[in-house]
Amino acid sequence: MEYIKSKIREVADYPSKGILFYDLTTAFKDPRALHIIGWDLSQLYRDKGVTKVVGIESRGFIGGSILAFELGAGFVPCRKPGKLPADTLRQEYAKEYGTDVIEIHRDAITPDDIVVIHDDVLATGGTMAAAIKLVKSLNPKKIYVNFIIELSALNGRAALPDDVEVTSLITY
């Protein structure tokens, strides 16, 4: 874990003043860190019968794809509005300024699925809470939620429902 941490770049005042941005591109470009991230993520879910990993656009696509591959599960993208070509479900959520929307294909998850929803960073939890609502409305058997990084000072877990198990590799 210390090795991964040493490869995460901390960028002050990005994207706006006062935000400390945890940049995972420097970990993803390092072969050993990428390997450890993929392995450690998959170890959390090895015996859970996971059938689909949902990745949140866009940084959640990287870890989500690796996790799906490692688990022998399918990958499902949760995307910004207008990006998915077929019939979608949409969910609005509050951001610091205004609202945002994410979408998922209506046929992406079925009731026999066991799902991990993955994003790179848990900050306020607004994005993940919206993704959970979308996935829940498709009635899978079980939903797990996973992050590479959790920013505990922002208490994002409080924004997530109690009936999903949340794991993160690294907590700051």
> Is residue 79 flagged as an active site residue?
no
Q: Answer yes or no whether residue 126 interacts with ligand AMP by CB under 6 A.
A: yes
Q: Answer yes or no whether residue 121 interacts with ligand AMP by CB under 6 A.
A: yes
Look-up: residue for tokens 């990993």? 53
Site string for ligand AMP, 51-70 (x = CB under 6 A): -----x--x-----------
Binds ligand AMP by CB under 6 A, chosen from 116, 123, 143, 145: 123
Nearest to 116 by CA among 161, 151, 166, 152: 166
> Is residue 92 flagged as an active site residue?
no
Binds ligand AMP by CB under 6 A, chosen from 48, 75, 114, 124: 124
Instruction: Give the integer Cα–Cα distance in Å for 118 and 126.
Output: 14
CA atoms within 13 A on the CB side of 87: 4
Q: Are 115 and 109 in contact (CB under 8 A)?
A: yes
Applying CB under 6 A, the residues found at the interface with ligand AMP are 19-22, 56, 59, 119-127, 151, 156
